[in-house]
Structure 1
Amino acid sequence: MADIKANLENLFQYIKEKQLLNGTVLVAKKGEILYEGAFGDADMSTNRPLTSRSVFNLASVSKPITATAILLLVQEGKLSLDDYLNKWIPDLPYGGITIRHLLNHTSGLPDYLDLFEVYWDKAKIADNDDLLRYLIKYKPERLFAPNERVEYSNTGYILLALIVERITDMDFADFLQENIFKPLKMTRTQAIGVRKENIEIDDYAYGYVYDVYAGEYVLADDFEESKMVTYLDGMLGDGGIQSTVGDLYLYERALSTGALINDVLLREAYTPPKTEIDTPYKYGLGWIIEDNEEKGQIIWHSGGWPGYVTILKRFMDHEIVIIVLRNKEQDFDFDQHILHAIEQAAFDLPYEIAKERPRLEHAQVLPEDILKRHVGNYALIDHPDLIINVFLENNRLFIKMPGSMKLELHAKTENNFFIRGLTIDVDFTTEGSKELVKIIDGTEVQIAETISN
C-alpha cells in the first residue's frame, strides 16, 4: 500500500498548499490508516488551527449511529423492526408506520424543519419532546402511505431517538454513551446540543457560512438564513452528534469486524426496501447504498448543516474507508470534486484536482417591490402536477420545490438569483404572455410556468 500512501500524501500536500479544504480527513484500507490530517481553522476569530482530534457537528452522519442504537435493541430482543410506531408512541396521529419505515425513510412523515419554521418561538431552543408535541398538536399531513416510496425524513430519526428512550428509560445521549461510545473508546464523541447546554468542547471546530451580502465568512448563528442552528440545537437522532475522524473510524471498524451488530442485522441494514414506487435513491437501515461498477458496493452517509459538511464512506469490497469533516462552507460541486480526488487516490487511480477554490457569489439587496414581481406558484412544464412556490418573508425571497424545504434566493440581478452553497441558479423570464422560472443545476434545466400571482 506504499503507492497509495504516497498518492494520498501528495494529494493532501497540494490541498494544504492551495487551501482547498477546511476540515479533517482520514483514509484507511484493510484496517490500516493510510492518511490522517487537518487543514485550516477551527476558530477563525483566533486562527486556532484544526487538528486530527478536532470535534465537529456530524449533522446527518449521526443517522447511522441512531440506527445502530435501534439495531442494538433489536439484537437484545427488546424491539422488532416491524413493531408499529404506535406501540411505543401511542399518542402519535399516524398509523401503519413501523420502526423499519422510520429507518429506511419510507414512513411518509413530513420533515419537521418547516413545522418549526412556522410555529416555533425562535427565542427558545427546541428538543425532541417539542417535536413530538408539535406532531400531536398540528398533525402535519403525511406525504404518502408507508412503503410507497423512499423520501428522506429527519422527523423519523428523532422519533427513533424517542423510542430508544421509552424502551430503555435512559436519555438518548446517555444510551449512546454507555452502549456505543464508551465500549468503542470513542472518547471525543457525544450527542449534545452545544448551544442548548451552553458548553465548550476542547478543540471544537466551529461552523462557518459565507455571508453573501458582506462577502465574508461568519458563524452560522450570525447569518439570518442559517439561524435555525440555534433554535433547533436540542434535536438529537437526525443529527446532533459531535465527533472526530478518529472516533468515527473506531465506529466503522466495530461495524466492519462484527464487534457491534451481528451479520444478520447488518445484512438487513445494507439492503434497500422494496417499495411500491421504485426510486434510484437506495437507503437501508441508516445507510445510503450504492453499487458502483468500478468500486463495488458502497455503504455511506453524508451530512449537511449550516457550516458543516460531513461524510463517512465505506467501500465494502475493497475495505477502504474515507471520512471527511468540513467546517467552512464552500461550493457543493467543488466539495464533490475534492472528494472524488480523494477516492481516486485511495484506489490508486488517476485524478484531477483544481488549482484554486472557486469564489463564492456575492448577492445584491433588492427592494421589496422588485422581489414581489417573482412571487407566485409555478407548475413544472414536464410535470404540471408538481408546483414550485416562490414567496416573500420579511423582505426575503424563497423558493420551495416539491418535497423539499424552502431555500432562500439571493439576487445577482433583478431577474437572476442563486441558492447559497449550491451550484443552482434560478432565473425569472417572460416568454410571450407566460412568466417562467428556470432552475439551472449545471447542465440540467427545469422550467415552470406561473399559474397564479
Structure 2
Amino acid sequence: MKLLRYTIYLYMGLFFSCRKDSGHLAENLRGNDSISPYYVDFKSLSPDYKLLKQNKIEQFYLKNWPKDDLSGGFLVAKNGQVLFEHYGGYANRFTKEDINPHTPIHIASVSKVLTAAVVMRLIDTGKLELDQKVHTLLPEFPYKDITVKMLLNHRSGLPNYAYFCDDRKIWNRNMLTNRDILNLLAKHKFGLYFKPDKKFGYCNTNYAMLALIIEKATQLNYRLAMEKLLFEPLGMNDTFVFDYKIDKASASHSYKGNNVQYGFDFLDDVYGDKNIYSTPRDLLKFDLATYSKKFLDPKLVKQVFKGYSYEHKGVKNYGLGIRLHEWDTGEKLFYHNGWWHGNTSSYVTLKNDTVTMIALSNRFSYKPYKIWKLAPVFGQYPVKPDDTEGAE
C-alpha cells in the first residue's frame, strides 16, 4: 500500500511539475529568453492531442525513471510546443546546486551536431566547400586525400586522438589542445585505419579537426565562432563551449552512477567533438532552426540528413554530423548520442513529424539513450521494445 501511495504521489507530482511549463515555445521564451530570427511558427496543437501525447510520454518517463532519479533534463516537443519537460538532480552535489531549465550540462558527442551545423553554415556562405581537401585549410595536415565531407561523415580513416595520445612516448599527459592533435598528426603521420572514403569509422579526431577548420574560416577561436554563428543568433543563452582554465570550477559536475564525482583529465580541453554545455530548451531552439530556410539552404539540409555509408546492409547510417535510422517502410529517425565521463546525452529529431526529443544526464546512465523509443508515439516507426543504442 505504501508503494502504491508513493507511486500515485510521484505521478501527480510529475504531472503538475512537468506540465506547468508546457505550451508553445514562443510563449515559453518570454522574459529573459529571446526568439531566434530563424524561428519557424508551426501549427498549434489541439488540447486533446497534447493531452493524449503527454499521457504517453509521462508513462514512458515513469517507466524509465520510476523513482524520479533523473539527474539532468528531459524534454519532448512537437511543432515547437513542449509536451513534457522535467529536471532533477544536482549540478554540484557538494553545494546542492539544483539542475533547472537553465543549467548547462555537458552534451558530449551531441556537440558534433552543433559543430557540423556551423561548418555547413560556412559552406552555405561560401567560406568553405564540402569537398575541399583538408590540407588546403590546415597545411600541416598530412593526409592529402581527406576532405571536409569525410570529416563530417566519419569516412576519413583518421586514428582516434584519445588512443594515440594515451601513449606516453607520444604525449606527456599535459592538457591537450586541438592544435596539439594536428601537430602530432603532422609529426608522426600515423597510419590511417582505412583508405579515405572507403567506409564509415566513427572517430573524434574528425571533429577536433573540423573545429580548427572553423577557426581558419572565421579567423575566430572556436568558442567565439560557435557563440557568434550559432548560440547568439538562435538565442541559445545557456549554451557555451567549455574552457578548462575558466570554467572548470563553475561548470556542472559529472558523476559516476554511484554519485562519485568524475575528475578532469588531459583530454578535457579538446573541442569540436565534445565540450559544449547546453540545455534541453536550447537544443530545442537549435532543432527548430533547422527547419528554417534562412538558417541553411534546403539543398544543404538534404545533404546533412542523408546516409553516406552503405557498405553493409542495415538500418543504421550516418549523415553530416547526425546519425540516422532508415527503415524499409520509408520512415527515418535522426539522432546523436553522447558520453563523456559521467555525462550521457541524446538528441532525437523526427523531421517528418516535427518532433524533438532530448535527454541529458550528468550522472552516468544509459537511460537517456532510450528516449528514441518514444518515436512510435508520433508516427509509424518500427521501433522494437528491445532495441538498444550505444553511447555515440
Q: TM tier, shorter chain? A: 0.7 to 0.9
The answer to whether residue 255 in structure 2 is matched with residue 208 in structure 1 is: yes
Q: Between the two proteins, what is the percent identity of the paired residues?
A: 27
Letter of the structure 1 residue corresponding to residue 300 of structure 2: L
Which whole-Å deviations, capped at 9, do the CAs of 1:215-265 have from their partners, x for residues lacking one? x431111xxxxxxx4211111111111111111110100002334111000
Q: Whole-Å Cα distance in 2 between the matches of residues 16 and 283 of structure 1?
A: 29
Q: Could you tell which deviates more after superposition, 238-247 or 16-25?
A: 16-25
Number of equivalent positions: 336
Tell me which residue corresponds to 2:262: 220
Q: Whole-Å Cα distance in 2 between the matches of residues 341 and 178 of structure 1?
A: 34
Task: Work out which of the residue numbers 158, 163, 177 in structure 1 matches 2:227.
Answer: 177
Q: Retained in 2: the 8 A contact 1:15–1:21?
A: no
Tell me which residue corresponds to 1:260: 295
The Cα shift of 1:55 comes to 0.8
Q: Whole-Å Cα distance in 1 between the matches of residues 306 and 380 of structure 2?
A: 29
Letter of the structure 2 residue corresponding to residue 245 of structure 1: P
Q: Whole-Å Cα distance in 2 between the matches of residues 235 and 61 of structure 1?
A: 14
Tell me which residue corresponds to 1:140: 190
Task: Work out which of the residue numbers 66, 76, 92 in structure 2 matches 1:43.
Answer: 92
Tell me which residue corresponds to 1:61: 110
Tell me which residue corresponds to 1:5: 54
Q: Secondary structure at the match of 1:282?
A: strand
Q: Which is strand-richer, 1 or 2?
A: 1
Q: How does 1:140-179 map to 2 (within 5 A)?
A: 140-179=190-229
Task: Work out which of the residue numbers 267, 285, 306 in structure 1 matches 2:320.
Answer: 285
Tell me which residue corresponds to 1:190: 240
The Cα shift of 1:207 comes to 0.9
Tell me which residue corresponds to 2:336: 301
Q: Retained in 2: the 8 A contact 1:110–1:140?
A: yes
Q: Which is helix-richer, 1 or 2?
A: 2
The Cα shift of 1:292 comes to 3.8
Give unpaired runs (5+ residues) of structure 1: 211-215, 222-228, 354-421, 424-453
Q: How does 1:15-414 map to 2 (within 5 A)?
A: 18-118=67-167, 119-122=170-173, 124-193=174-243, 195-201=244-250, 204-210=251-257, 216-221=258-263, 229-273=264-308, 277-278=311-312, 280=314, 281-292=316-327, 296-330=331-365, 332=366, 336=369, 338-339=370-371, 342-344=374-376
Letter of the structure 2 residue corresponding to residue 291 of structure 1: E
Q: Whole-Å Cα distance in 1 between the matches of residues 380 and 54 of structure 2?
A: 9
TM-score, structure 2 as length reference: 0.78
Q: Whole-Å Cα distance in 1 between the matches of residues 156 and 187 of structure 2?
A: 19
The Cα shift of 1:16 comes to 5.6
Q: Whole-Å Cα distance in 1 between the matches of residues 325 and 294 of structure 2?
A: 24
Q: Retained in 2: the 8 A contact 1:58–1:239?
A: yes
Q: Whole-Å Cα distance in 1 between the matches of residues 65 and 162 of structure 2?
A: 36
Q: How does 1:419-434 map to 2 (within 5 A)?
A: none
Indicate the RMSD between aligned Cα atoms, in angstroms.
2.8
Tell me which residue corresponds to 1:386: none
Q: Secondary structure at the match of 1:148?
A: coil
Q: Whole-Å Cα distance in 2 between the matches of residues 293 and 33 of structure 1?
A: 30
Q: Whole-Å Cα distance in 2 between the matches of residues 340 and 132 of structure 1?
A: 35
Letter of the structure 1 residue corresponding to residue 159 of structure 2: P
Q: Whole-Å Cα distance in 1 between the matches of residues 371 and 103 of structure 2?
A: 20
Which whole-Å deviations, capped at 9, do the CAs of 1:111-147 have from their partners, x for residues lacking one? 111111113222x311111111111112211011111
Letter of the structure 2 residue corresponding to residue 131 of structure 1: I
Q: Retained in 2: the 8 A contact 1:173–1:191?
A: yes
- Larger Cα Rg: Structure 1 or Structure 2? 1
Q: Whole-Å Cα distance in 1 between the matches of residues 262 and 114 of structure 2?
A: 25
Compared CA separation, residues 306 and 28, structure 1 to 2 (3 A): same
Which whole-Å deviations, capped at 9, do the CAs of 1:1-53 have from their partners, x for residues lacking one? 22112322444456565135322111011221111111223222233332122
Q: Whole-Å Cα distance in 1 between the matches of residues 152 and 292 of structure 2?
A: 22
Q: Secondary structure at the match of 2:256?
A: strand
Q: Whole-Å Cα distance in 2 between the matches of residues 284 and 348 of structure 1?
A: 22
Q: Whole-Å Cα distance in 1 between the matches of residues 345 and 368 of structure 2?
A: 10
The Cα shift of 1:296 comes to 2.0
Compared CA separation, residues 41 and 30, structure 1 to 2 (3 A): same
Compared CA separation, residues 200 and 183, structure 1 to 2 (3 A): farther
Q: Whole-Å Cα distance in 1 between the matches of residues 65 and 160 of structure 2?
A: 38
Letter of the structure 2 residue corresponding to residue 319 of structure 1: T
Letter of the structure 1 residue corresponding to residue 172 of structure 2: D
Compared CA separation, residues 164 and 110, structure 1 to 2 (3 A): same
Q: Whole-Å Cα distance in 1 between the matches of residues 313 and 270 of structure 2?
A: 28
Letter of the structure 1 residue corresponding to residue 295 of structure 2: L
Q: Retained in 1: the 8 A contact 2:122–2:128?
A: yes
Q: Whole-Å Cα distance in 2 between the matches of residues 279 and 102 of structure 1?
A: 22
Q: Retained in 2: the 8 A contact 1:149–1:278?
A: no
Q: Secondary structure at the match of 1:314?
A: strand
Q: Whole-Å Cα distance in 1 between the matches of residues 122 and 384 of structure 2?
A: 45
